[in-house]
A and B are shown apart, each in its own frame.
Chain A
Amino acid sequence: MWIAIGSLTAMGLILGALLGLAAKFLAVKENPLEEELKEMLPGSQCGQCGYVGCSQYAAALAKGEASVTLCTPGGKAVIEALAKKLGVTADTSEHEEKLPEHAFIVEDLCIGCTRCIRECSTDAIMGANKLMHTIIIDACHGCGKCVKVCPTDAIVMIPIQVTLRNWHWPKPEIEQAQHKQEVAHVH
């Protein structure tokens, strides 16, 4: 019995030690910047930037291979934050006027094919096979992927309506001006 207990304990210790050593020697260096950039992205893996998901885009950004303006759902705010972090100037002119949008299903045209449901990366579409679908506006981040797959063009992008539930006090003008100065200073 003692041999059994001893040999199992010894094996466990040896294998554990070997794995510990291996983990130390084979450790993969991860760029800390990559992690920080990933935190700043929306994280819904919509793939509109052309990369598979947000972490791949963050990796490309950290290597300096990708432009900071590719994130559509993030809009101007994310572009400015990324540009500030990476110390580059971003051309936000294309994103200047675009207000936050959400998808909307024209219910007369929906045939209940569930294609948009499968495409949605935030599970913002409700519905079932051969039943009309609808969008949960609070969950939709406006990536527009469902618009492309809809066979009957029943999905349109509309600007988010300002209601009592999502209205905020506007930021004071002076603060914004100061913020712009800071950004300019960093550049």
Chain B
Amino acid sequence: MKEYALLIVSAALVNNVILARFLGLCSFMGVTTRIDTAVGMGLATTFVITVSSMADWAVGAYLLEPYNLWYLRTVTFIMVIAAAVQFTELTVKKVSPPLFQMLGIYLPLITTNCAVLGVAILLVEQKMNFINATLFGFASSVGYSLVMVMFAGLRERLALADIPRLFAGPPIGFIVASLLALAFMGFSGMTS
């Protein structure tokens, strides 16, 4: 049990996908101008990363490992992720039209989010078992959503602040992102 808790904390906070591994930075800067879009993106990405890490683990363990095809992992994982995203889109459209409306364009765009591929490659390289891989995928995506929502909240406040004209817009966004990353470095002392 303790092992799982450590895995979750490590994936979500200490080795946060965005602030420690620098994955998924385009969506981090792109869709965090408002909290509700950040929440939508976070929810959709959480779902896709969890589903695709399970599928990618299976592909890695039953196809790439036995036939020694590791050089094909990027292509196969992208294929699996694209299929998972398409399937998610179909399911969400059927099950919950309001959520589909809310996620809008972000859902298909997750295919090209490097956080999804990054998590998949990390978990096969660390040779995790199935439960660990699923937990790792889920915890990483929760960490991703957490940072997205926090950063969106900060940027909503920044929009109202009196910022020197030189720094207004993306520059102050990058400065705040670096401060947030510094704050997250504080978590690295937690697991030791």
Please give the residue numbers on chain A whose beta carbons come within 8 Å of chain B beta carbons, in ascending order. 3-4, 7-8, 11-12, 15, 18-19, 22-23, 26-28
**Complex Cα–Cα for A18 and B75 (A):** 19
Please give the distance in Å from B112's CB to the nearest CB on chain A.
17
Q: Are B90 and A4 in contact (CB under 8 A)?
A: no
- Asked if B94 lies at the interface with its beta carbon under 8 angstroms from chain A, I say yes
B20 at the interface (CB under 8 A from A): no
A-B contact pairs, 14 of them (CB 8 A): A7-B63, A7-B69, A8-B75, A11-B63, A11-B79, A15-B79, A15-B83, A19-B86, A19-B87, A19-B90, A22-B91, A26-B91, A26-B94, A27-B94
B contacts, CB < 8 Å to A: 59, 63, 67, 69, 72, 75-76, 79-80, 83, 86-87, 90-91, 93-94, 97
| B67 and A19 contact, CB distance less than 8 A | no
Task: Name which residue of chain B comes closest to A12, CB basis.
Answer: B79
In whole angstroms, what is the CA distance A3 to B66 when docked? Answer: 11
In the complex, what residue of chain B is closest to A15 when comparing beta carbons?
A: B83
Are B72 and A8 interface neighbours, CB within 8 A? yes
Chain A hits for B87, CB < 8 A: 18-19, 22
On whether A18 and B83 interact (CB within 8 A), knowing A3-B67, A4-B69, A7-B63, the answer reads yes
A4-B69, A22-B87, A22-B90 given; 10 more Cβ-contact pairs under 8 Å: A7-B67, A8-B72, A15-B83, A19-B86, A22-B91, A23-B90, A26-B91, A26-B93, A26-B94, A28-B94
- How near does chain B come to A21, taking the closest CB pair, in angstroms? 10
Q: Which 7 A-B pairs have the closest CB atoms?
A: A15-B83, A26-B94, A26-B90, A3-B67, A22-B90, A19-B86, A28-B93
Q: A27–B93 Cα gap in the complex (Å)?
A: 9
Complex interface: chain B residues within 8 A of A7 (CB):
63, 67, 69, 72
Determine chain B's interface SS by DSSP, over half rule: helix
Give Cα distance in the complex from A4 to B91, angstroms. Answer: 31
A162 to B150, CA, bound (A): 56
The chain A residue sitting closest to B69, CB to CB, is A4
For residue B76, which residues in chain A have a CB less than 8 angstroms away from its CB? 8, 11
On whether the beta carbons of A19 and B83 are closer than 8 Å, the reply is yes
Q: Assuming A22-B90, A23-B90, A26-B91, is B72 touching A4 (CB within 8 A)? A: yes
In the complex, what residue of chain A is closest to B80 when comparing beta carbons?
A15
User: Chain B residues near A22 (CB, 8 Å)?
Assistant: 87, 90-91
- Nearest-CB distance from B61 to chain A (Å)? 14
Contacts of A8 in B (CB 8 A): 72, 75-76, 79
- Chain A residues with Cβ below 8 Å from B63 are 7, 11
Q: How far is the CB of A8 from chain B (nearest CB, A)?
A: 7
Closest Cβ–Cβ distance, residue A60 to chain B (whole Å): 14
Give the residues in chain B near A28, CB-CB below 8 Å.
93-94, 97
Q: Which residues of the partner chain B approach A4 to less than 8 Å between Cβ atoms?
A: 67, 69, 72
CA distance A15 to B58 in the complex (A): 14
Residues from chain B with a CB closer than 8 A to the CB of A27 are 94
Contacts of A19 in B (CB 8 A): 83, 86-87, 90
Closest to A56 in B: B101
> Could you tell me the distance between the alpha carbons of A7 and B80 in the complex, rounded to whole angstroms?
13
A86 to B135, CA, bound (A): 53
Task: Verify B69–A3 contact, CB threshold 8 A.
Answer: yes
Residues of A within 8 A of B79 (CB): 8, 11-12, 15
